[in-house]
């Protein structure tokens, strides 16, 4: 058990969205939960091909921004369940998703943190959609210092950064906790 986990168990639980007392509930208070709405995005910064196939819970600020930060640093399963269930409810059945995966964390980060917040979310999305969760991607190598590269070089470096497992189903939903503008993950 980490020190943070011990502290979390001892201190009164606070809602990461509004800092209000959570009482016996865990994760996120009802008011903050009602502020989350999955949205289908018409434009994707990832790629043209992915454009009509993107669902987000909202911009990285306010209740959602604070919740995602809390998930990243605390790894609360209750919080992951609330966010993942909301995200999963926004995935259209027409996409025909067959399995769910998440963007892998860099191995050094994984060792340091002990969990991958994108995977925590992805597993909850899979549960919501009644689909299998697969470890479909692995990091092939460190992507290096992206800031020093030109855009085209940066894209190539990222293209090679992940390796897909063999024998995957055709349509897989990829879950990440934060999507940065122009910072394509795949
Ligand atoms: Zn709240």
Q: Which two tokens stand for residue 96?
A: 């025909």
Structural domain range at position 29: 3-175
Q: Is residue 180 part of a domain?
A: no
Q: Is residue 186 a part of any domain in this protein?
A: no
Where do the DSSP E strands lie in the chain? 39-41, 54-56, 99-102, 137-139, 162-164, 172-175
CA of 71 to the centre of ligand 1 (A): 14
Residues 1-21 pLDDT 10s: 677 777 666 667 889 999 998
Phi first, then psi: give them for residue 133, nearest 5 degrees. Answer: -95, 130
Q: How many domains does the chain have?
A: 1
The burial class, CB within 10 Å (0-12 / 13-18 / 19+), for 166 is exposed
Q: Do residues 102 and 122 lie in contact, with contact meaning Cβ atoms separated by under 8 Å?
A: yes
Residue 6 CA, ligand 1 centroid: distance in Å: 22
25 occurs within a structural domain: yes
Examine residue 13 and state whether it is found in any structural domain, yes or no.
yes
Domain presence at residue 159 = yes
Mean pLDDT of the chain: 83
155 lies in a domain?
Answer: yes
Domain assignment of residue 20, yes or no: yes
Query: Residue 151 C-alpha to ligand 1 middle, in angstroms?
Result: 39
Q: Which two tokens stand for residue 163?
A: 């390796």
Residues in the chain, overall count: 186
Element (H, E) at 83: helix 77-89
Q: Which whole-number Å values give the CA distances from 125 to 61, 100, 128, 135, in the listed order? A: 21, 7, 5, 14
Tell me which of 39-48, 58-67, 92-101, 134-143 is least confident.
39-48
User: Distance, CA 155 to ligand 1 centroid (Å)?
Assistant: 38
CA-to-CA distance for 58 and 55, rounded, in angstroms? 9
Per residue in 70-113, pLDDT tens?
999 998 889 999 999 999 999 999 999 999 999 998 888 888 98
* Distance of CA 30 from the midpoint of ligand 1 (Å): 7
The model's pLDDT over 131-178, given as tens digits with 9 standing for 90+, comes to: 999 999 988 765 555 555 565 555 555 566 888 998 999 999 999 999
44 C-alpha to ligand 1 centroid (Å): 29
- Gap from CA of 68 to ligand 1 centroid (Å): 13
Question: If you measure from the C-alpha of residue 112 to the centroid of ligand 1, how many angstroms do you get, rounded to a whole number?
Answer: 28
């Amino acid at each position: 058990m980490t020190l943070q986990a011990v502290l979390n168990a001892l201190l009164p639980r606070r809602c990461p969205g509004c800092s209000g007392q959570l009482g016996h509930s865990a994760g996120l208070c009802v008011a903050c939960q009602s502020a989350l709405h999955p949205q289908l995005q018409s434009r994707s910064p990832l790629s043209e091909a992915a454009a009509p196939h993107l669902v987000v819970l909202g911009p990285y600020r306010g209740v959602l921004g604070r919740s995602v930060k809390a998930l990243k640093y605390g790894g609360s399963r209750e919080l992951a369940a609330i966010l993942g269930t909301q995200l999963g409810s926004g995935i259209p059945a027409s996409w025909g998703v067959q399995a769910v995966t998440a963007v892998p964390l860099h191995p050094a980060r994984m060792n340091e943190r002990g969990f991958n917040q994108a995977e925590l979310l992805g597993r909850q999305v899979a549960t919501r959609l009644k689909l299998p969760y697969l470890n479909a991607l692995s990091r092939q190598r460190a992507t290096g210092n992206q800031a020093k590269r030109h855009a085209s070089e940066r894209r190539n470096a990222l293209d090679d950064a992940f390796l897909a497992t063999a024998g995957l189903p055709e349509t897989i939903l990829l879950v990440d906790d934060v999507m940065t503008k122009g910072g394509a993950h795949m």
